A and B are shown apart, each in its own frame.
Chain A
Amino acid sequence: MNIHEYQAKALFEKFGVPVPKGAAAKSAAEFDAALASLPEGPTMVKSQIHAGGRGKGTFTNGFKGGVKFCKTKADAKEIAGKMIGNTLVTVQTGPAGRKVQTVYFTVASDIKKEYYLAILLDRASSKPVIVASTEGGVEIEKVAHDTPEKLFKVLVDPAYGLADFQVRDLITRLGFAGAEAKNAAKLIRQLYTCYWETDAAMIEVNPLITTPTGEVLALDAKVSFDSNALYRHPEIVALRDLNEEDPKEIEASKYSLSYIALDGNIACLVNGAGLAMSTMDIIQHFGGTPANFLDVGGGASKDQVVAAFKIILGDPNVKGILVNIFGGIMDCNVIATGIVEAVKEVGLKLPLVVRLEGNNVVAGKATLKASGLALVSGDTMADAAQKIVKLVAA
């Protein structure tokens, strides 16, 4: 689960991680009150959406830049008016963009130097890793590729937590000294506590900055959480912004379906994540384009299949459907009956190819055949994928 920058910074403050003073506004009517809490002077205006590349983004109304520097609060108010309620397109949003529903005002800090700091899971060692660099404000992938010697990593032993010597080591390698070193050490320790205590999946601060007066601040904040751990963090669940999520994915989750929309025109409905991914792959392999990832889990009950069909058919690009079920434990005949009922209930008009395999498959295929529905049976995944690709191309 992702949260907005302004929410992440409020969380940072709770854990004692210093950030520039800021205030969020959810409508133009709230601009004055938000700005009143900030001192007069240079102010940043930042569009709040769950996507990166905001600074270089363009609004669909032609206004350029989702993050702007303003010399005065009056200017900031005017600029915020051009952002709120409008749609921002960035490299990460796709062409449809995201509607900006919150604008965040912050004091524009004097920047002495920019750094990079992130905390996430290192999968190879199964330990939290702190990644830091002297090259902040740029894409970290580029730093890792071009100048790996400027990227520092510290693995944290989960049994003991972040050790002081590790923080000192990091501070030294980043070149901090004096008051900056002390402040940076404190910030890193607090940020790690925030990561660990909140079950964060990733915290990224890019840039982390120093100011001419020796302050160390998190100028930006990107935070995501482990969705498996949300049950023990109601305060974080409360930060969820459904406006930032695909309504079809939200609907799918109500039926324990895992659904992700893609750009293609062949929808698929599969049991199991690995099989669902490879069903998308095999559609592409035979020249089609998958419209979605959809994992119905181990069961594939009639209600789930009905819900899945409805969600799939909500995508106007879909021209055909491939159902691929390996009924290991589940009786294929029960699944087939569910599919037939679901097709009748939603009045499916599109080409449908069903590939069933596993337990009691002969009876299942017979049920599909006896249904009188215009569905096509596929024997193997390859056979089924080729059939649906051909039907959709016709």
Chain B
Amino acid sequence: MSILITPDTKILIQGITGDFGGRHAKLSLDYGTKVVAGVTPGKGGQFFEHGTHKVPIFNSVADAAKATGATVSAIFVPPPFAGDAILECVDAGLDLAVAITEGIPVKDMVRVKRAMQGKKTRLLGPNCPGVVTPGTGKDSFGGCRIGIAPGYIHKQGHVGVVSRSGTLTYEAVFQLTSKNIGQTTCVGIGGDPVNGTSHLDVIKLFNADPETHGMILIGEIGGTAEVEAARWIKANCKKPVAGFIAGATAPAGRRMGHAGAIVGGTEDTAAAKIAVFKECGIEVAVTPSDMADALLRAAKAKGVTLT
């Protein structure tokens, strides 16, 4: 199986009529993803057309979900309106909201996260590449691609990938697929300091998923989310895990692109996180080129087959 989404998951796209949302809606449709609705306030009743696809547009998430049965939303709306877009998904009772938008104010996310407490909707992101559950077709066609990741680099299989960074996730997935190792689901949790789903949340889902035989955990400087995940892995997880932390050379106090990638103390440096990974039995990739190999080493040590 997979986590969070399956190839049959019906998704809607908030901001489908924008350049960014529209471009990726087309790529998801080409990948075979069930994009069943778009949402743009004021454009309800129109259609988003791509090849033979004719996706109906609704004024609200609630309308779209009710009419189409969509359970997951991909959010491409601009930062000032993105917090509101997430809350709309919560109100409509969706299972999952995936916020791709980069640049949402921290205060907006603090309020949104508080408002989501105790609600059924899970948030992935913001400032994330999204989530992919590969399909069985050529170049993993027929999967569920939500967000902006390149679908074709994936391959259906048994490895789970979780990361803050987009391109670093693609790097890991590409290495796996090149070695003929497929993935159950690849999850981008985003590079912002306040996000909906943590490394640990995703690790727990992978651990509970019988189809996932091993995991790659990709983190970076800033915060302590990777440390929290590593400690849980040590206590609860028997599956092989490989880890990588970006930012060993980043100077303290400087924000490295991602809003959350900033060293603020002694606990959130790359060296500190790598030390915890090692202590927790996670096989550390010495360079980003070593991520798939590190997982193979971890799997071999535990006698686990990844393919």
Which of A's residues lie within 8 Å of B, judged by CB? Answer: 92, 121, 123-124, 126-128, 141, 157-159, 196, 199, 201, 226-229, 231-232, 258, 260, 262, 270-285, 290, 293, 295, 298, 326, 328-329, 357-359, 380-383, 385
Contact = CB atoms under 8 A, between A and B. Distances in A.
Contact of A278 (B27, B149, B225, B244): B244
Contacts of B259: 227-228
Give me the 5 closest cross-chain CB pairs, A-B, nearest first: A274-B165, A273-B257, A272-B167, A328-B150, A229-B105
B44 interface: no
Nearest to B261: A273
A282 B287 contact: yes
Contacts of A281: 246-249, 270, 287-288
Interface in B82-116: 103-111, 113-115
Given A121-B110, A159-B111, 15 more contacts: A123-B225, A126-B114, A196-B107, A226-B107, A228-B105, A232-B105, A274-B165, A274-B246, A275-B168, A281-B287, A326-B171, A329-B150, A358-B170, A359-B152, A382-B290
Q: Which of B164, B166, B191 is most buried by chain A, counting CB atoms within 10 A of its CB? A: B166
B166 A277 contact: no
A258 B290 CA distance: 26
Contacts of B258: 273-274
Contact of A284 (B109, B171, B249, B265): B249
Interface string B104-147: 11111111011100000000000000000000000000000000
B293 to A, nearest CB: 10
Contacts of B164: 274
Nearest to A259: B257
Given A121-B193, A123-B193, A123-B223, A293 B167 contact: no
Contact of B167 (A159, A258, A326): A326
Contacts of A229: 105-108
B69 interface: no
A274 B106 contact: no
A158 B246 contact: no
A71 B53 CA distance: 79
6 contacts: A126-B113, A196-B107, A229-B105, A260-B251, A277-B221, A278-B246
Nearest to B270: A281
Given A123-B224, A277-B261, A260 B254 contact: yes
A172 to B, nearest CB: 27
B282 interface: no
Contacts of A381: 171, 287-289
